[in-house]
Amino acid sequence: MTEPQPATRRSIKAAAPAPAGPSSRAGRNLPVAIASGVVLGILVAGTLVIHPVAFAVVVCVAMVVAVWEMRQALAVGGLFAPFAPIAIGAVSMIAAAYVRGAEALVFAAALTLVATLIWRVADGMTGALRDVGAGALILLYPCFLAGFAAMMLAEPQGQWRIFVFIITTVFSDIGGYAFGVLLGKHPMAPKLSPKKSWEGFAGSVLSCAVVGAIVIPLTLDGAWWQGAVLGALVAPAATIGDLIESSLKRNLGIKDMSNIIPGHGGLMDRLDSLVMVVPLVWVALRIIAPH
Q: Which band of pLDDT confidence, cut at 50, 70 and 90, is reported for residue 7? A: very low
CA distance 80 to 159: 36
Strands (E), 119-234: 187-189, 193-197
For the cut 50, the answer to whether the pLDDT of residue 10 exceeds it is: no
For the cut 50, the answer to whether the pLDDT of residue 9 exceeds it is: no
Q: What is the pLDDT of residue 31?
A: 82
Q: Where are the domains of the chain?
A: 28-288
Distance linking the first and last C-alpha atoms of the chain: 45
Tell me the chain's radius of gyration from C-alpha atoms: 19
CA distance 133 to 129: 6
* H-type alpha helices, 30-101: 30-50, 52-76, 83-100
Q: Which band of pLDDT confidence, cut at 50, 70 and 90, is reported for residue 263? A: confident
Average pLDDT over residues 133-161: 97
Q: Which band of pLDDT confidence, cut at 50, 70 and 90, is reported for residue 28? A: low
* DSSP structure string for 224-278: HHHHHHHHHHHHHHHHHHHHHHHHHHHHHT-SSS-S-BTTTBSSHHHHHHHHHHH
Average pLDDT over residues 71-93: 97
CA distance 85 to 213: 42
Angle, CA of 47, 48 and 51, to the nearest 5°: 80
CA distance 126 to 106: 29
For the cut 70, the answer to whether the pLDDT of residue 50 exceeds it is: yes
Query: Which of 12 and 106 is assigned the larger pLDDT?
Result: 106
Q: What is the pLDDT of residue 54?
A: 97
For the cut 90, the answer to whether the pLDDT of residue 13 exceeds it is: no
